[in-house]
Amino acid sequence: MTETDVALRTLAHNVRAARIRAGLSLDELGRRAKVSKGALVALEKAQGNPNFATLVRLADSLGASVSALTEGRPEQRVRVVDADAVMPLWKGERGSEARLMLTTGGPAPTEVWRWTLEPGEEYPSHPHQAGVTETVSVTAGEMVLVVDGTEYPVAAGQSATFDADATHTYRGAGTRTCHLIMTVHLPPGPG
């Protein structure tokens, strides 16, 4: 079995388990996450291939983190994660990418993401569930954070935080690749 097959089976199991824990039918989860019932059925049978935006909508609708849907059970008390060992969940046409490095446990988990944004390339995100906040910390280069249509330049050595229940976009700026760490702080929930 390939690594992709294992990942898809893990995702299928975790989505189904989270849906059942939340007491949602396939129809209701599909309505909330804006995913067709057919796509959900295929996903729960490990036959789907959801994109990054679909995973985020499913996680938000289930009150879970993206990694709660994509990772198997933690095997160790301490995990050290190499960025190259984590597959990108989003890749832009110009070479930008986003990798979900890990998620903390507990009642209000935090996702830790490593992003690269090429100049002019952007990732538009839909609003998350109420109570989700995001923080971006630029380690090299520059980016523009757009929240509700307002642009906020963020350069190397700067961080920005915002309530992520609004439309937001990450855009590479300047002349070189922007490197950033993004954390997504999730509200306590059933996930």
Q: What pLDDT does residue 3 have?
A: 66
| Mean pLDDT within 168-187 | 95
User: For residues 34 and 74, which has the higher predicted lDDT (pLDDT)?
Assistant: 34
Phi, psi of 142 (to 5 degrees): -145, 155
Angle among Cα 85, 90, 93 to the nearest 5 degrees reads 115
Q: What is the pTM of this model?
A: 0.66
Amino acid at 12: A
Closest CA to 123 of 95, 159, 161, 84: 95
Q: What is the DSSP letter of 34?
A: T
User: For residues 39 and 49, which has the higher predicted lDDT (pLDDT)?
Assistant: 39
Cα 60 to Cα 151: distance, rounded to the nearest angstrom:
25
User: For residues 66 and 106, which has the higher predicted lDDT (pLDDT)?
Assistant: 66
- Give yes or no for residue 191 having a pLDDT over 50: no
Q: What pLDDT does residue 52 have?
A: 79
List, in sequence order, the alpha helices (H) in the chain: 3-21, 26-33, 37-44, 52-62, 66-70
95: left (phi over 0), alpha (psi -120 to 50) or beta: left
List, in sequence order, the alpha helices (H) in 45-128: 52-62, 66-70
Per-residue pLDDT tens for 20-31? 777 888 898 888
| Both tokens assigned to 8 | 């898809």
- Judged on CB neighbours under 10 Å (0-12, 13-18, 19+), 51 is exposed
Mean pLDDT computed over every residue of the chain: 86
Amino acid at 128: H
The answer to whether 118 and 172 are in contact (CB under 8 A) is yes
